[in-house]
Amino acid sequence: ETRGDRQGQGGGHGPERRSDLEPLLLDRSLTFEEKMRQLDTYFEDRPLLVAKRFAQIVGAFTRILAVWRLDNSKPEQPLPPPGCAFETDAEECQAPEPERYRGTVLRDTVCSLGVLFIKLAQTAATRPDLIGDEAAMSLEKLQDRTSPFNTTLAKQIIAEEIGSEKFSEITDNPVAAASLAQVYKARLASTGEQVAVKVRRPGLVDQVALDSYIVRLILRLYTKVFAGADRDYEMLFKEVGSGLLEELDFRREAENAREFAEAHAHIPYLRVPDSIPDLITTRVLTLEWIDGRKLTELPSAEQRDMVRKGIDVCFAQLLSTGIVHADPHYGNMLYDNSGKLTLLDFGLVTRVTDAQKEAMAGSVVHTLNEDWVGLINDYRELGLLPKQPAIWVDKEGNPTGGLGQGYWKPVTREEFVTAFQSSLEADPSQPIVPAAEAVKNPPPKAQIRRKRTFSEITSRLTELSFQYRFTLPEWMLFIIRSVITLDGFAGRIKPPFNTLELPSDAREEWVSGDVPGGWPRGSSSVRARASKEVEHSQLCEIHENRSTGSCGERKGC
């Protein structure tokens, strides 16, 4: 355990040294795999350090499993409704005590393990098929609220990195603290401007390096125990781990924010804080200060407006710019005093190609119209579906949820299409019907009910992705996470509404082709199809429902 590690937990007041591993982890010329191989060599010579941390991690997860099994022995009780996946005092959203207790243990334990496990858990929350509905719902409420480290140490880091004389004042306590960094409100000595100063947590590089090594070690052990399991959990770790290494470098965050702001400059109600170029290093980031409120702090009318703008920005990222904010939980969204949506924390941004935007645009149209066969074709264009459809089965050939030992059993295209369509048309509270059964006994049309929410559709898609042989790419998961957040909140607003039925400026611009910078080549054919499929009367009805004015006041009606 290094001095930096102890300080990272809040102790110690000496000067914070740079980690010996920082040049390796922040080197942009190396791939993630190359960095991990060098970490293997580094930690193989430090077995005691690895053993101590390994014991901590195993002990933490043993406690989770013990509490989970203990509570599971009690009579089963219903979970909160889907719209209650966020903190609330509403009576209808209170979970039964057993679920609440073990969910709290799960979240608290994950937070205690540090930033890598928090990031892994936040990603796992989008995979209820992998960890179960209750665990996923518990992790959806996971808030990164790690205890702050010592302010004296933070100010020493600021002084060492950029010089304390740059600020005339800095708050004594952080205004926000998380496992990666904490933020102070300060004032520039040169101009008197209020700014936000973000300071990376001490010892974080060493912690991320060690935890990455141990997680990969656990994954290798898992692969040996379940030798027949063709489930690439290492890919999930690679996505989270590589993104986290990018977030450790605050220079990259400033670059991402500038790129995102320039790409979305045509959206008048979107705001991205400006950075101060001369006051940025790998460990300190200085940004303009923006006063604003979180979604939970707004009255219902402003919540509705913020959700609408958030959905529009999500579609703009997918359909127009291809520059995607990769950590879009509602803690990174503010509603400023002028009614603009402010996005924070650009430590990780991903990019979508023109071909992916084109296919995703088609999938949006097909999702809005619940054309699941069309959605399958879009997924095929995106390269998500294999040439030979298959289902994960156990040794006896029985379909499973995609877990445990087994193998991929080929199915016909008809079986796959029928199972896919039947699953998305069925009541979302019911389990997925196996392919063979779906072909023989498709669900009756009477079961097809109201238009589904985005959360319901996503839950089905993630279940299908594990039972059948296709995967959702990380750029799609980032947007899905953002829309699920807003979709869940939309269900709580009085009166609740379906985000997929919102009149999206981005979708209307896409259909009309009126987008700054133009659309990718070939998108005109999909727009033409969308113009026919998204009915004129449906758009007008939606506009009338959200506005007291006439339908004709909005473009497209």
Quote the pLDDT of residue 214. Answer: 97
Per-residue model confidence as pLDDT tens digits over 476-499: 766 666 666 667 667 767 776 666
Same domain, 281 and 210: no
Number of H-type helices and E-type strands within the chain: 22, 14
- What is the predicted pLDDT for the residue at 228? 54
Q: Are residues 227 and 326 in the same domain?
A: no
* 533 and 479 inside one domain: yes
The token pair at 319 is 């359909």
Sheet containing 341-343: order of strands: 270-271, 341-343, 333-336, 292-293
Q: What's the average model confidence in pLDDT over 269-294?
A: 96
Q: Which amino acid is at 478?
A: F
- Dihedral of the CA atoms 164, 166, 172, 177 (nearest 10)? -90
Choose between 358 and 193: higher pLDDT.
193
* Sign of torsion over alpha carbons 378, 384, 388, 389: negative
pLDDT for position 310:
87
Assigned domain for 374 exists: no
The residue with greater pLDDT, 477 or 61, is: 61
- Number of structural domains (the chain) is 4
- Over residues 181-185, the mean pLDDT reads 96
H or E segment to which residue 259 belongs: helix 250-263
The mean pLDDT value for 294-319 works out to: 87
Q: What pLDDT score does 76 carry?
A: 41
436 and 524 both lie in a single domain? no
pLDDT band for position 540 (50/70/90)?
A: very low
Q: Which of 470, 493, 511 is the last residue of a domain?
A: 470
Tell me: the pLDDT tens digits for 401-458? 655 567 788 888 888 888 888 877 766 555 555 544 554 555 554 444 456 666 677 6
pLDDT at 408: 80
DSSP-assigned beta bridge partners for residue 341: 270, 335
pLDDT, tens digit, for every residue of 218-274? 988 887 876 655 455 777 788 889 999 999 999 999 999 999 999 999 999 999 999
- DSSP label at residue 321: I
The residue-averaged pLDDT of 522-526 equals 44
Tell me whether residue 378 is in a domain.
Answer: no
Dihedral in degrees, nearest 10, Cα atoms 144, 147, 153, 157:
0
Gap between the Cα atoms of 480 and 466, Å rounded: 16
**490 and 365 together in one domain:** yes
Does the pLDDT value for residue 536 go beyond 50? no
- Looking at 439, 470, 501, the residue that finishes a domain is 470
Q: What is the mean pLDDT of the chain?
A: 76
Which residues is 167 bridged to in the sheet? Answer: 188
The domain boundary residue, chosen from 440, 470, 500: 470
What span, in angstroms and rounded, lies between the C-alpha atoms of 158 and 417?
57
C-alpha span between 34 and 24 (Å, rounded):
10
Helix axes 233-247, 250-263, angle to 10 degrees: 90
Q: How many CB atoms lie within 10 A of CB 45?
A: 8
One domain for residues 231 and 125: yes
Q: Residue 48 sits in which domain range?
A: 3-144+205-245
CB 519 within 8 A of CB 475: no
Asked whether residue 13 falls in the same domain as residue 60, the answer is: yes
**In a domain? residue 377:** no
Residue 397 backbone class (left: φ over 0; alpha: ψ -120 to 50; beta: rest)? left
Whether residue 322 is contained in a domain is answered as yes
Give the pLDDT score at 126: 65
Mind listing the pLDDT tens digit for each residue in 336-386? 999 999 999 999 888 888 888 877 778 777 877 778 888 888 888 777 777
Contact 136, 128 (CB under 8 A): yes
175 and 220, same domain (yes or no): no
Separation of alpha carbons 449 and 427, rounded Å: 8
Give residues with Cβ within 8 angstroms of 481, minimum separation 6. Answer: 122, 126, 328, 329
For the stretch 109-160, pLDDT in tens is 999 999 999 988 887 776 665 676 678 778 877 766 678 999 999 999 999 9
In whole angstroms, what is the distance from residue 441 CA to residue 444 CA?
Answer: 9
Q: What is the predicted pLDDT for the residue at 539?
A: 36
pLDDT at residue 202 tops 80: yes
Assign 199 a pLDDT band (cuts: 50, 70, 90).
very high
Q: 314 and 213 share a domain?
A: no
Antiparallel, parallel or unpaired: β 270-271 and 194-200: unpaired
Kindly state the tokens that stand for 54: 């390994």
DSSP helix/strand/coil, 270: strand
**Does residue 407 lie within any of the structural domains?**
yes
What CATH code is carried by the domain that includes residue 302? 1.10.510
Residue 360 shares a structural domain with residue 447: no
What tokens appear for 359 in the block? Answer: 């296919």
Alpha-carbon Rg for the chain, nearest whole angstrom, is 24
Distance of alpha carbon 166 from alpha carbon 373, whole angstroms:
59
For residue 380, being part of any structural domain is answered with no
Terminal CA-CA length for the chain? 65
Task: Report yes or no on 68 lying in a domain.
Answer: yes
Q: Are residues 131 and 154 in the same domain?
A: no
List the one residue out of 366, 369, 383, 372 whose CA is nearest residue 526.
Answer: 366
**pLDDT > 90: percent of the chain:** 34
Residue 448 lies in a domain: yes
Task: Note whether 397 and 420 are same-domain residues.
Answer: yes
